[in-house]
Every structure is written in structure tokens, then in C-alpha cells.
Amino acid sequence: MSIYFLNIDLGLQCTGIENSALLRAKLFYKELNINPIFILSKYSPHQYLEILSLKENGRLQPDTKTVNIYDLVQSVDRNLLAYKEKSVFIDKGFSVVKVNGNKKIIDSSGYVVMYLVYNKFSGLLSYINRFDQRKIWRRDYYDCLGFLSRTQILREEDRKVSQEIYYRPNGTISLIKDFFYSFKDKLEKVRFQVVSNVGEFVCVFYNENDFIYYFLSLYFDGKKENKVLLVDKNKVFYDVAVKLKESLKDKEDKTYIISAIHNLHVVNYKEKNSSRINSNYFSVFKDLTKTDAVIVQTLLQKEDILDRFQARNIYAIPHTYENRLPKEFNLKRNLYKAVYFARYSIEKRHELAIHAFEKVVEEIPSATFHCYGFGAELAELKKLVVELKLENNIFLHGWCNNVAEEYESAGLSIISSQSESFSLTIAESLAHGCPVVCFDVPYGPRELVQSGENGYLVPYPDTQAMAEKVIYIMTESTRQLELSKKARISSRKYSEAVVAKQWSEVLSRLGN
């Protein structure tokens, strides 16, 4: 049986869902002798290099296969193609100015005509912005193999994308996307035109789901195998998976669908039995008979779903995380140091943690709070830190490659999210003996944190209560040590061996 993980992206800077898929893949490989195949939907012409790095640093098995939808669209076989350096035509009368690792091309009149941007990770050409009369009108993207991969044509009035043209490695066009906007300049629809290798029109689609289904049906055509489509990104892939299953139902090979729920399934938890369904999972809960299994990460969420839908195919399987540092590894903990690992996004509510820590600093001037992540809210959060004059206490870092070491050196972690389906961040913190102070919100915090045992739960969004627990842990070294020991013990229930048994049971029930 082949198992496919359906996700949007994989890279060195992963979202929580992507990271959980990587950990699950490692568990399947190590404990179940299953090497899953990742199917990815995001156009990302340098993704392949990041996947190679994931394999090199052990986060992905060397022989794990990944399939990008756009590689299918553009007929890219990365096992056969070799890198060819792209020579960019620059007029003899133009000058080249280097800017922070990139290149600015200036014409004889002193105007910028091209701006070449290079990938910070690989140093390869990433894209070229082209200017006409000082305004950008076109952007050319280059694959990590060196060929021109995509061209974006921008509207003159507002620089929004009007058309995208995708190319095969041999230079022929494979796909044209046309973007249509409403009178308020809001994107209304996208037209996908598939083009043959001789330039003939093949077919047209007006939504991404149909577009993805078309190329996945071609990919699976002729594959004689029982398959499991494990959907991590339901909004993009769930309807596609259902359609694939229905199209293959008359074949001897069986197709099964597993939907992984990574967030709250309802919009309003306080009215969980009547609230509308989270839009990411609307198709799943519209008809639970179409999926063979629904996986949530906590027993609490499973019970809520059973109570509302009375479905039989709901399973609670947590994410897995193990402390892989050597036993002799020993960092001295800084009890006055707190950490928080999360995307800088609205739902993570970093501003609440910052306001809570403002109160901590009033009591402990030497206390520090280190946040790690990436996301759209970073700039605003930095402004908040400056406004509160906490630049010497609160540090908003980018992506961290040494998560384990940071947890091992901290006295505690703070999590201020307004909701968490499971919270891999909490599991990581506990595994490294780092007590957690977080809000008492569904579902993960309530299931992972036993208040007073391995950390503390405080009412949402009470920053005063959060600050008091942080201060208590920082100033009571004996109590911190007790919490730390119990945190490590509590994390054992999320070990690979324990979680693998739960997955094995679900997989064995498929078709029964």
C-alpha cells in the first residue's frame, strides 16, 4: 500500500502543519516501515533544493519522494535534468550595480531596467524584475535548474498580476493563468489554460481544485496500487481526494482517504454544537461518509466531534516528538529566560505574551523573552516592543535551527495562542524539560499541560495571571526543577513507538 501526504509546501522554514507531516513521515518510516510520498501544490521553483537540505539534515529520509504539482504541469523530471546556468542578456551600454547580493541593471539614461534577485539560500538566480519607464511591468522566475520557469505580467495601473506564463525546461509554454479582478480590484477568478508541448490548447479550468485534480489523475493513471491519500491541507486537497477516489472506484486497486484536522473544526468553540464549521474543513464535515478516517490530535476534540456528528471514523492520534539530544548533553538553564516558538500571525497572539512579560520585567528586570518564527505580524510586534521600551528584555528572532538547545537553556516557555488543535510547540517544550505557561484554550493546552505538574494553565486572555505564573517559576528554582522533571516524563506519551501503534491500528482498519 502506498501512502501519500497531501500538503501545500515543504521547506527549511516549515509551518506547524508541515513540520508535523515531516515528523509523521519519519515515524512511518522508522516504526511502520512505510515511506510516504509527499504531494505538494505550491509553485516553488527552488523548493527542490530545500527538500535536499531537509534530507541532508535528517528531517526527511533520503529516499522519500516528493511530487510537486507544478513539476507535473511543466514536465520537470529532477532526476534526469542537470543544472544549466542561465545567461541573462544585458545590453553593452548598461551598467551593473551590486546591491546586497543582488544586481541592479541601469541603462545609459540612469534608469533601472532590471533588478536581479538571487536566492539567499543557494545563491542561484531567483527572479528578475523588469522595468519600463521606471515602473515594474514584468517578473521572470527561474528554476533552481536554471531554466526560465514563469513570467508574470503586471497591470500598469496597480502592478497586480494580470497573467502568468509557465514554461517547460525546453522553453515551450505549458500553462497560462489569467487573473480577473472585480471593479473594486479584488481578485474574482483565475483561468487556467493548459497548453501542449506543441503549443495547442488542451483544456481550461476556473478553480485550483479542478486544475490539481486534472494533473493528479494523470499522475495516478496506470499506477496499480492500493493507496491512502492522507490530506493535511483539506481546503486545497480534500475535494480533489474525494474526486480521485470516486474516479478510481471501479478499479481493483483501492483508494482510501484520511483527513487530518490540524485546527479547531468550528469557528466558535463556545457554541461547538451549533457553530458553523471552520472553512478549511467544511467539505470534510459536510459528509463524513466520504472519508475513511478523520484524525484529530486530542481526545477532547474527538469527543466534541462524536457528540455533534455521531460518526464512527474519528480517531485521536497526537503529533509525535522525541528529545534526540544525547544523554550527556547538558545546558545550564537560565531560569530568567522564557521562549516562544510560533509563526508571527494573528491567532498566536504574541502581543498578549509581550504585555504579560512587561509585568514580569517590572518584578525581574533581568528577565528575557525570546520569540522565534516568521510571519506577517513581526513588524507590528517589533513596534510594540519599542513602544513598551522592552528592547533589552524581549527579542523577536527569525527562524531558529537550534530549537532543542533553546528549550534546554530556558527556564520555561510561554504560549499565548487563542486556540491550538494540539500544539507541537508544547510537545517540544515538554520533551526538553521546559515547563509551559499558556492560556487554557482548546484543545492542545488542556490535554498536554497538567496545571501545577508540568506547567500552568491560565484563563484566556488574562495577562496578569500569565505574568504571575512566569514570575513564580523564575523565582522558585526548586519548583522549576520539579516542573521540568515532570515535563520530560509527561512527554513520553507522544513518543514514536506509542504513536506508531495508534497509526498502525487506523491503517489496519481501512476497508474493514
Percentage of the chain lying above the pLDDT 90 cut: 88
Grid-cell match 551598467, residue found: 95
What confidence tier does 241 reach under pLDDT thresholds 50, 70, 90?
A: very high
Q: What pLDDT is stored for residue 210 in this prediction?
A: 98
User: Quick one: which of 295, 292, 220 has its CA closest to 256?
Assistant: 292
Q: What is the dihedral of CA 285, 229, 318, 406, to 10 degrees?
A: -120
Q: What pLDDT is stored for residue 252 in this prediction?
A: 83
Q: What pLDDT is stored for residue 83 in this prediction?
A: 76
Q: Please tell me whether residues 383 and 437 are part of one structural domain.
A: yes
| CA torsion through residues 46, 52, 53, 55, sign | positive
The reply to whether 415 falls in a domain is: yes
pLDDT at 512 over 70: no
The reply to whether 205 falls in a domain is: no
Grid-cell match 514570575, residue found: 471
Work out the end-to-end distance of the chain between its first and last CA atoms, rounded to an integer number of angstroms: 15
340 bridge partner residues: 371
Q: Please tell me whether residues 362 and 476 are part of one structural domain.
A: yes
How confident is the prediction for the chain on average, in pLDDT?
95
Please state whether 455 falls in left (phi above 0), alpha (psi between -120 and 50) or beta. left
Q: Where are the alpha helices (DSSP H) in 163-288?
A: 208-220, 234-247, 282-286
pLDDT at 327 over 70: no
Q: What pLDDT is stored for residue 81 in this prediction?
A: 78
Domain holding 426: CATH number? 3.40.50.2000
Give pLDDT tens digits for 192-206: 999 999 999 999 999
C-alpha pair distances (Å), 425 with each of 356, 373, 460? 19, 12, 18
pLDDT at 98 over 70: yes
The reply to whether 407 falls in a domain is: yes
C-alpha 278: how far from chain center: 18
Distance CA 338, CA 152 (A): 44
Q: Please tell me whether residues 228 and 166 are part of one structural domain.
A: no
Q: Please tell me whether residues 374 and 473 are part of one structural domain.
A: yes
Distance CA 66, CA 48 (A): 9
Half-sphere exposure of 16 (CA within 13 A, CB side): 22
Distance CA 177, CA 154 (A): 12
Mean pLDDT over 421-435 rounds to: 93
Give pLDDT tens digits for 68-90: 999 999 999 998 877 777 778 88
Give pLDDT tens digits for 458-482: 999 999 999 999 999 999 999 999 9
Q: Please tell me whether residues 470 and 399 are part of one structural domain.
A: yes
Q: What pLDDT is stored for residue 193 in this prediction?
A: 99
Q: What pLDDT is stored for residue 215 in this prediction?
A: 98
For 291, other C-beta atoms within 10 Å of its C-beta total 25
pLDDT at 8 over 80: yes
What confidence tier does 423 reach under pLDDT thresholds 50, 70, 90?
A: confident
Written as one letter, the residue type at 224 is K
The reply to whether 479 falls in a domain is: yes
Secondary structure percentages of the chain, helix, strand, coil, to 5: 35, 25, 40
Q: What pLDDT is stored for residue 329 in this prediction?
A: 63
Q: How many domains does the chain have?
A: 3
Which domain does 99 fall in, by range?
95-196
> What DSSP assignment string belongs to 68-92?
EHHHHHTT--TTT----PPPPP--T
Reported pTM: 0.91
Distance CA 313, CA 511 (A): 12
Q: What pLDDT is stored for residue 328 in this prediction?
A: 56
Q: Please tell me whether residues 347 and 394 are part of one structural domain.
A: yes
261 DSSP assignment: P
